[in-house]
Amino acid sequence: MPDQGIRASESEHYLIARDRAGAAFGGVGLELRPPHALLRSLVVRTDARGAGLGRTLVSAAEDLAREHGILALYLLTLDADAFFRRLGYVEIRRDVVPDQIQDTGEFADLCPASAICLRKRLVAGTGRDTRGGVDSADGLDDPEGTR
């Protein structure tokens, strides 16, 4: 989990799961760049894996994104693409990612070019994602971007 570029700002939100003693055992970051956001640095402590915490953290980040009017979440991963695909994320080419996401530190500098780029389109306030055609007015109509 790259910790470079982690700082407090109005555009960044971090969700941390803690045990009863207050020790962190999972977390995820969300960098808002409306109408898009970067999901970053999902981490679950080794002894807490397999209980659905990663899925819960991603779901909470998606809900927070919807509350902020975010239309799509983007992420880069070296080894968790299968996990995110199960949650509805699809692989896309990096060159079709919106500029405001490409300009983030994680996207521009921290993750290698070999990282897999994934996106999930969100429908505000519904708790579900879109699968089919999207109105081009929302800035997500990029049929050549998905693989």
Within a domain: 81 = yes
Strands 90-91 and 36-44, sheet pairing:
unpaired
Q: How many domains does the chain have?
A: 1
Q: What is the CATH number of the domain that holds 46?
A: 3.40.630.30
* pTM of this structure: 0.78
Domain that holds residue 36: 12-131
Within a domain: 141 = no
- 33 three-class SS: strand
Within a domain: 111 = yes
Per-residue pLDDT of the chain (147 residues; tens, 9 = 90+): 344 344 444 557 889 999 899 999 999 999 999 999 999 989 999 999 999 999 999 999 999 999 999 999 999 999 999 999 999 999 999 999 999 999 998 888 888 889 999 999 997 554 444 443 333 333 455 544 554
Within a domain: 142 = no
